Structures are given as structure tokens and as C-alpha cells.
């Protein structure tokens, strides 16, 4: 399934991109979020106008069982692998499950774009595709995962706005 999420922020484009991809921002955001149990920057490198990072996320469980089978929280854990082109204001990402048995069943890739709005505001537009390759229940799982992703991104955007207002985003 294809998805699109948009969030507006009260800052200019370059400041927002720098804040969102600042080294260690994940740990600062986590303190203000209720949708993730844990989040950790695993890797962060900058080479000129390019930043590459790997961030592990463990969301708060949204479902406890499927068809009577217990869903372990770690099954929902993933690592975001992203690369941002600061000059272009665009990032590409891939979310990879950390549980080896889930890896062949789930594909999630996309793009983040940052568009300047009037009044010094910026809109982050996240588009991509999510595929769960499980017969019969794949489409239902996609809808649940997409809804969970929306809640996490809404929560992350609210936390980022708090950091921006407090002047502690980067």
C-alpha cells in the first residue's frame, strides 16, 4: 500500500532538516513521545551535504495477539536506514525489521521532502510504500502498521515542535 503523511513545523526548511537529522535527536525526542518504548541512534555520519543514519525504534505494542498467537513487542521493532541530501532537502529511507523472521515479510521504503511555506514554516511530506507479504492477512497488517506509523509520526512531530519552541532541537 502507498502512504503519505504531512506535518507542518514553525521553522524554516534548512533549520527543520538540520533538527530532524541532528545526531542524537532521536534520544531527545523519545523523552517527549508516548508511542515508542525505546529509540536509539545506532549510526550517524555526515559527508558534506549528506547525512546517513540508522535508528532503532521499539513502538509501544498496539496489538497483543493475532489469531490467538501472542505478538512479542520485538516483532514490531525496526531500524530506519536513511540518507538525507541537505542541499536538495530530500531524504530517502528504508525501515528494516530487527526480527529475522519478519524481514522477508515486510518491505517499507519512502521519501521525505521538505517544502517551505509562508510565514517561515515548513511542511514535511513523507511518502512511500509498505508491503506485508503474508497471504490473506497482509493487507490487514498493512493497514494496522500504517495507522501505527501515522500515530508515531504525529507524536514525533509534536515532540519536534516542542524542541523547536524550546530551542533544544539541535
Digit-coded pLDDT (tens) for 116-163: 999 999 999 999 999 999 888 889 889 989 999 999 999 999 999 999
- Rounded to an integer, the average pLDDT of 163-170 is 81
32-82 per-position pLDDT tens digit? 999 999 999 999 999 999 999 999 999 998 777 766 778 777 888 999 999
- Cα angle value 15/83/99 (rounded, 5°): 120
Give the whole-angstrom CA distance, residue 124 versus residue 130.
19
Residue 106 has pLDDT above 70, yes or no: yes
Query: 89 and 123 in contact (C-beta within 8 Å)?
Result: no
Amino acid 54: pLDDT: 98
Amino acid 167: pLDDT: 81
Q: How far is CA 103 from CA 6, 37, 49, 98, 107, in A?
A: 27, 21, 31, 7, 8
Q: At what angle do helices 13-20 and 138-166 cross, to 10 degrees?
A: 110
Amino acid 84: pLDDT: 97
Amino acid 83: pLDDT: 98
Amino acid 113: pLDDT: 97
11-33 per-position pLDDT tens digit? 999 999 999 999 999 999 999 99
Amino acid 170: pLDDT: 65
Amino acid at each position: 500500500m502507498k502512504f503519505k503523511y504531512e506535518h507542518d513545523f514553525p521553522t524554516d526548511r534548512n533549520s527543520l532538516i538540520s533538527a530532524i537529522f541532528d545526531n542524537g535527536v532521536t534520544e531527545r525526542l523519545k523523552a517527549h513521545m508516548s508511542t515508542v518504548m525505546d529509540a536509539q541512534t545506532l549510526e550517524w555520519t555526515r559527508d558534506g551535504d549528506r547525512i546517513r543514519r540508522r535508528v532503532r525504534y521499539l513502538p509501544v505494542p498496539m496489538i497483543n495477539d493475532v489469531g490467538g498467537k501472542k505478538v512479542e513487542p520485538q516483532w514490531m521493532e525496526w531500524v530506519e536506514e536513511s540518507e538525507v541530501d541537505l542541499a536538495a532537502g530530500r531524504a530517502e529511507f528504508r525501515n528494516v525489521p530487527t526480527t529475522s523472521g519478519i524481514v522477508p515479510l515486510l518491505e517499507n521504503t519512502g521519501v521525505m521532502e521538505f517544502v517551505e511555506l509562508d510565514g517561515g514554516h515548513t511542511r514535511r511530506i513523507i511518502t512511500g510504500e509498505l508491503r506485508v507479504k503474508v497471504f490473506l492477512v497482509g493487507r490487514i497488517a498493512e493497514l494496522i502498521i500504517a495507522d501505527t506509523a501515522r500515530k508515531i509520526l504525529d507524536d514525533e512531530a509534536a515532540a519536534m515542535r516542542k524542541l523547536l519552541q524550546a530551542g533544544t532541537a539541535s
